[in-house]
């Protein structure tokens, strides 16, 4: 299988490229700088330019483009960057795969599609979009794939949770604090913190690429949702460190702003119904197992 990947240099993209190649697949990478390797092809989403050679013989395109939502405090210009970095590349790729007839488009999205007002209610892929900036962003991001769907391309919308990875991402920021005994819940701790191990994120992507029955949204989340308090206790156990602290909601809002309200103090209780019904075999069923595997430590599988 030949897979073309946009966003191949990011956390998930790097792991996906390696996994696909280990499994014997051919990978072509879209880059926004001069090509420096035979598998690289130049594109410029802002100009709607794409080296047509990249899609020749492609069996699937994976779009993982998007600026980090937590890289800095949100303001009007950064929120526009978050939208442009996702929707514009998706527009270009959806038109391209529709035009040349690539059979599959797997497009990134986020589990915050469901918004922060779901509370304790379980949500799956049949649940409607929520409200707020992130929910609207995910909804519009997914809508940009419509030209591909209309052309008969099997389009998969990957609604990812926080991906647990030792080398980067959320855990790399939290681990030093926990090592100092500064771990604890955020806000009330009753909000859900959707999670998925990197192994299962990559596994779910490859499963969706190779399983013709999967189309539309899939929740890339671990099968056992946890609250923020449960997540933090599990991380403390994995690191063998206490988690005595509470970071008040008002302090998070003052420090981080709108991002804290939408992505930290609220989170959906999302479950991976589509993946489970399709028969995806999760490697890590609980937050304890996922953290133990990610951090290379013995866990209690809770």
193 and 171 Cβ atoms separated by less than 8 Å: no
Look at residue 189 in the predicted model and tell me its pLDDT. Answer: 94
Look at residue 170 in the predicted model and tell me its pLDDT. Answer: 80
Give 22-37 pLDDT, tens digit per residue: 999 999 999 999 999 9
DSSP letter, residue 297? S
Look at residue 112 in the predicted model and tell me its pLDDT. Answer: 96
Alpha carbon 45 to its chain centroid, in Å, reads 20
Q: What confidence category does residue 173 fall into, taking pLDDT thresholds of 50, 70 and 90?
A: confident
Asked if the structure places residue 174 within a domain, the reply is no
Look at residue 40 in the predicted model and tell me its pLDDT. Answer: 97
pLDDT at residue 302 tops 70: no
Domains in the chain: how many in total? 1
225 and 286 Cβ atoms separated by less than 8 Å: no
Asked if the structure places residue 67 within a domain, the reply is yes
Residue 204 sits in a domain of what CATH number?
Answer: 3.40.50.720
Look at residue 301 in the predicted model and tell me its pLDDT. Answer: 56
Mean pLDDT of 111-129: 94
* Secondary element (H or E) of residue 34: none
Asked if the structure places residue 242 within a domain, the reply is no
Asked if the structure places residue 180 within a domain, the reply is no
Contacts of 183 (CB under 8 A, 6+ apart): 174, 177, 232, 235, 236, 239, 241, 242, 243, 244, 245
Contacts of 172 (CB under 8 A, 6+ apart): 165, 166
pLDDT at residue 42 tops 80: yes
What are the helix (H) ranges across 240-299? 249-256, 258-259, 273-278, 287-295
Look at residue 120 in the predicted model and tell me its pLDDT. Answer: 92
- Average pLDDT, whole number, for the chain? 94
Of the candidates 233, 263, 259, 261, the one whose C-alpha atom is nearest the C-alpha of residue 246 is 233
Q: What confidence category does residue 206 fall into, taking pLDDT thresholds of 50, 70 and 90?
A: very high
Concatenate the DSSP letters of all residues of 186-215 into one string: ETTS-SB--EEEHHHHHHHHHHHHH-TT--
Burial environment of residue 75 by CB neighbours within 10 A (0 to 12, 13 to 18, 19 or more):
exposed
**What is the C-alpha to C-alpha distance for residues 241 and 53, in angstroms, rounded to an integer?**
52
Identify how many contiguous H helices and E strands the chain contains and give both numbers.
11, 14
Asked if the structure places residue 208 within a domain, the reply is yes
Mean pLDDT of 203-220: 98
DSSP letter, residue 272? -
38 and 28 Cβ atoms separated by less than 8 Å: no
Q: What confidence category does residue 169 fall into, taking pLDDT thresholds of 50, 70 and 90?
A: confident
Q: Which domain holds residue 11?
A: 2-162+196-221+270-283
Q: In the structure encoding, which two tokens stand for residue 295, read together?
A: 């951090």
Give 233-267 pLDDT, tens digit per residue: 999 999 999 888 898 999 989 988 999 999 999 99
Give 8-18 pLDDT, tens digit per residue: 999 999 999 99
Q: What confidence category does residue 171 fall into, taking pLDDT thresholds of 50, 70 and 90?
A: confident
Asked if the structure places residue 232 within a domain, the reply is no
Asked if the structure places residue 288 within a domain, the reply is no
Angle between helices 133-143 and 76-100 (to 10 degrees): 20
DSSP letter, residue 227? B
Asked if the structure places residue 292 within a domain, the reply is no
């Amino acid at each position: 299988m030949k897979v073309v990947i946009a966003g191949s240099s990011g956390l998930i993209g790097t792991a996906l490229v390696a996994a696909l190649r280990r499994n014997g697949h051919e990978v072509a990478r879209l880059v926004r700088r001069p090509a420096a390797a035979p598998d690289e092809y130049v594109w410029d989403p802002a100009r709607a330019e794409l080296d047509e050679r990249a899609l020749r013989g492609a069996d699937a395109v994976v779009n993982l483009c998007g600026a980090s939502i937590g890289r800095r405090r949100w303001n009007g210009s950064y929120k526009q960057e978050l939208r442009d970095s996702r929707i514009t590349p998706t527009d270009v790729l959806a038109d391209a795969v529709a035009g040349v007839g690539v059979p599959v488009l797997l497009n990134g999205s986020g589990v915050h599609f469901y918004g922060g007002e779901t509370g304790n209610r379980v949500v799956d892929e049949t649940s409607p979009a929520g409200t707020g900036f992130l929910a609207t962003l995910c909804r519009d991001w997914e809508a940009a794939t419509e030209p591909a769907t209309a052309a008969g391309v099997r389009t998969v919308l990957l609604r990812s949770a926080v991906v647990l990875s030792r080398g980067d991402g959320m855990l790399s920021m939290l681990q030093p604090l926990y090592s100092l005994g500064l771990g604890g819940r955020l806000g009330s701790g009753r909000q859900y913190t959707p999670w998925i191990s990197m192994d299962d994120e990559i596994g779910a992507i490859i499963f969706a690429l190779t399983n013709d029955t999967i189309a539309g949204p899939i929740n890339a989340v671990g099968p056992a949702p946890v609250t923020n308090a449960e997540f933090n206790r599990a991380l403390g156990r994995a690191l063998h460190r206490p988690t005595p602290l509470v970071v008040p909601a008002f302090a998070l809002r003052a420090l981080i702003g709108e991002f804290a309200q939408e992505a930290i103090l609220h989170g959906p209780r999302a479950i991976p119904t589509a993946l489970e019904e399709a028969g995806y075999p999760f490697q890590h069923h609980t937050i304890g197992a996922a953290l133990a595997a990610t951090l290379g430590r013995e866990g209690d599988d809770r």
